[in-house]
Amino acid sequence: MTTLRQEAISIVESLPEEKILTLLNFLRELTDFTDTAKRLAKKKAAFDELETLRREIPDLNYDKALADYRNEKFGNANSD
């Protein structure tokens, strides 16, 4: 066993139980982060979920929508 591993083991052995749980959670996250396949799979799953939420919207006539909004908001303020 290398000196580095022995030092890591001695540090872990000296930790209280609640700190060991925190350390385990951190190590799991670190392992997931460094594992490229898992990271890409999570991103793809998130993207696929977003894709299921996507819906088609009708073509919008922006000039007409703006004119309608202005008319609704301000009425005929420009007319004499």
H or E element at residue 38? helix 36-53
- Taking only the tens place, the pLDDT of each residue in 18-44 is 999 999 999 888 877 777 777 788 899
Nearest Cα residue to 42 out of 29, 53, 55: 29
Q: What is the pLDDT of residue 55?
A: 86
Radius of gyration of the chain from its Cα atoms, rounded to whole angstroms: 29
Confidence of residue 73 (pLDDT cuts 50, 70, 90): confident
Query: From CA 5, how far away is CA 14, in angstroms rounded?
Result: 14
Q: What is the pLDDT of residue 39?
A: 79
Q: What is the pLDDT of residue 29?
A: 82
Confidence of residue 58 (pLDDT cuts 50, 70, 90): confident
Q: Where along the chain do its domains lie?
A: 3-74
Q: What is the pTM of this model?
A: 0.39
